Amino acid sequence: MDNITVKRILCIEDEPEMIDLIRLILSRRGFEVYGAAGGVEGIKLVREMLPDLVLLDLMMPDMDGWEVYQQMKADDSMREIPVIVVTAKAQNIDKVLGLHIAKVDDYIAKPFGPQELMDSVEKILNKKSAA
């Protein structure tokens, strides 16, 4: 039955155009994409909806992505939700450090192509469903 369940993805991002772009790319593949305009709203929505995946921008004015990530990992109800970090600040060293230290599931640098986004999302969700 699980294959029929629509996967819900929450995009926490302070740029509405970026949420629209991600929604456009992922909804074509049958994902339900929700947007949260910043970290404070984002963490609230993660708690409420417990999405299958979170796409998380690091640079946000109200609460940055690392803060959101740490709150998620500190909460039993949210700890298992995979997180893909989406950020413009992806120098390779940051990428490697971020993935290792925080155990982020994956990392996408802006600007990214639609295929890159899809590949990352599908890789993480497939890994989750196989677990």
| Alpha helices by DSSP H, the chain | 16-27, 39-49, 65-73, 92-102, 114-130
d(CA 37, CA 14): 5
Domain extent, residue 78, equals 2-130
Q: Is the pLDDT of residue 22 over 90?
A: yes
CATH of the domain at 43: 3.40.50.2300
> Mean of the pLDDT values across residues 15-42?
95
Place of tokens 């909804």: 27
Cα 55–chain centre separation: 1
Contact (Cβ atoms closer than 8 angstroms) between residue 12 and residue 36: yes
Number of domains the chain contains: 1
Tokens of 72: 């998620």
What are 80-99's pLDDT values in tens digits?
Answer: 999 998 877 655 556 656 66
What band does 1 get if pLDDT is binned at 50, 70 and 90? Answer: very low
d(CA 44, CA 81): 14
> Mean of the pLDDT values across residues 102-119?
88
